[in-house]
Amino acid sequence: MQVYRSTVKIDEGDIQLYVASNQHELTFLLGLGSIALPLFFNNLTELLNHQTSYVEVDGWDYLTFYTFSRHGDQVVIKEKHDKYAFNIFAFCEAVDAAFKKCFRKMRLEGLLPVPVEDSEFHPLAKPTMDAYQRFTSAVNKKRI
């Protein structure tokens, strides 16, 4: 059985997400988190729920472009010349765990929820948190 590890760092609007299995390690770099994160969560939710089998994820400020294609219970992620294959369910659980841990820490530090007056371009404003809630709900349904 594969063991997945994951971490997420949010610095201003930049997001760094690290996911590793026994076979692959991948670090996502997403700029403009207020735009990229809701799209990222929505794309993963659609892949997980079989609503699509292919999505493109733009890294925005980092000029990085990722493609995700689902093949059965595998997700193949391509970045430039590199290709990674993960179990879609374990990958999404790892992403969910990393964000849960990050959000818990931010709540303890008083950084969440984001004050309404600061939310227009904040990466964790309502659109992101709504997309995350849909994503984590989809992940939890797959666990059952």
Say whether pLDDT at 59 is over 80. no
Is 52 in a helix, a strand, or coil? coil
d(CA 109, CA 126): 19
Tens-digit pLDDT profile for residues 75-129: 999 987 789 999 999 999 999 999 999 999 999 999 898 887 777 788 898 899 9
Tens-digit pLDDT profile for residues 3-15: 999 999 998 888 9
